[in-house]
Structure 1
Amino acid sequence: MSAQAPRYPLPPFTAQTAAQKVQAAEDAWNTRDPEKVSMAYTIDTEWRNRSEFVNGRQEVQQFLQHKWEKELDYKLKKELWSFTDNRIAVRFEYEWHDAAGQWYRSYGNEMWEFDADGYMQRRYASINDASIAETDRRL
């Protein structure tokens, strides 16, 4: 259990509450605010993002700060894939460009595990990037 106020909706998830968690995550990540995003995670959260391992809310903030310095004009869309008890699986894609103006669409899957207070304690993400033309953007 976290020492903070509950972060609704809480597990065990239903189709409706799992979809709400996914939408809340999409909305938060699209702010590109590392501090705001990090508040959805436990203090000791554990991440695997591609080949990087991130531990704790402080490292999450640093990771996201660096991410959004590189991935400019980031726009994300998440989709609920599956859920059970305190776990949710998500499919996502996001678009961004680098400092040289090259656009990318990044595709991936995430597995999330929540504590009883609704904070994400584990996030495992597999992600692949594809170069796209700016005219091929969808998001």
Structure 2
Amino acid sequence: MSNVPEVRPPLPPFTRESAIAKVRAAEDGWNTRDPARVALAYTIDSAWRNRAEFVHGREQIQAFLARKWQKELDYRLIKELWAYEGNRIAVRFAYEWHDDSGNWFRSYGNENWEFDENGLMRQRHASINDAPIRESDRKYHWPLGRRPDDHPGLSDLGF
């Protein structure tokens, strides 16, 4: 194990521009649907509340994300900056997915994030609601992976 500290720019304290970059980096990471890769953005002892589930540390984060993306198929996410101050960022988000029976959902939520001095997230508090949608009501049609730069964001879509 290396003694070199992990650094994940941009670093706090955040400006509007660096907070937007941090939010987009998080969106891009989650859109990979790669639990091991995503878990690296969090401190070793990161603490989460995701809905009513409490997750602690990278190992649990990785297991949580693996379960999530086994259930939430064809997952596509958009995040948007809501507010920032110092080492904290608040975001709102919406993602679309379907279950193994082909039922589509759009999940809406808010997250509060706190970062350490190296830009790793040490706390994540997420409140999320799932709304059933028809497949024809989907708004996220890009190929799986990173949202294209020219794809509308949440505000543009009226979410």
Taking structure 1 as the reference length, the TM-score comes to: 0.97
* 1:95 alignment partner AA: E
Which position in structure 1 is the counterpart of 2:23? 22
| Residue aligned with 1:123, SS | strand
Aligned counterparts of 2:4 and 2:107: Cα–Cα separation in 1 = 35
| Residue aligned with 2:93, SS | strand
Q: Please state how far the C-alpha of 1:127 moved relative to its aligned partner.
A: 0.1
Instruction: Give the number of the structure whose residues are more often strand, by fraction.
Output: 1
Q: Please state how far the C-alpha of 1:117 moved relative to its aligned partner.
A: 0.5
* Gapped regions of structure 1 (runs ≥ 5): none
Which position in structure 2 is the counterpart of 1:93? 94
| Residue aligned with 1:30, SS | helix
| Matching of residue 124 in structure 1 with residue 121 in structure 2 | no
Q: Please state how far the C-alpha of 1:4 moved relative to its aligned partner.
A: 2.7
Which position in structure 2 is the counterpart of 1:52? 53
Q: Which runs of 4+ in 1 moved over 3 A?
A: none
Aligned counterparts of 2:28 and 2:56: Cα–Cα separation in 1 = 23
Q: Please state how far the C-alpha of 1:6 moved relative to its aligned partner.
A: 1.5
**Aligned length, in residue pairs:** 138
Taking structure 2 as the reference length, the TM-score comes to: 0.85
* Gapped regions of structure 2 (runs ≥ 5): 141-159
Percent identical among aligned pairs is 63
| Residue aligned with 1:57, SS | helix
- The CA RMSD measured in Å over matched residues stands at 1.0
| Residue aligned with 2:28, SS | helix
Which position in structure 1 is the counterpart of 2:105? 104
Aligned counterparts of 1:30 and 1:94: Cα–Cα separation in 2 = 10
